[in-house]
Amino acid sequence: MVKRKEFVCPCKCPGQSCIVERRKVGDFVHVDMLMTEAKVPKLKHCLSKPTKTQQKVLDKIKDKNFQSITFRWTIDSELEKVDDKSK
């Protein structure tokens, strides 16, 4: 038997908002995308202490993009409703 140690995020936040969980299931991680864009290393997990450059990216999210994330989710759920109706 090989014991597989899976990395568990220390944040204990529900799956959908946890960056580690989202990566695991191959879900879109907005923070990762912005880090890549800024050519900054990605955060290891939700509670990683960000470096100065990472913090700059995080500040950007708070300023502008945080709303757009939740907005995207709203659109997603609206689309699901439309799908239900068409059935």
Residues that bind Zn ion (CB under 5 A): 9, 11, 18, 20, 46
Q: Which is nearer to Zn ion, 18 or 40 (CB)?
A: 18
Alpha-carbon distance 13 to 42, whole Å?
18
Q: Which is nearer to Zn ion, 70 or 86 (CB)?
A: 70
Dump the DSSP string for 13-32. --GGG-HHHHHHTT---HHH
Minimum CB–partner distance for residue 53 and Zn ion (Å): 21
Q: Which is nearer to Zn ion, 43 or 57 (CB)?
A: 43
Whether the Cβ atoms of residue 81 and residue 68 lie closer than 8 Å to each other: no
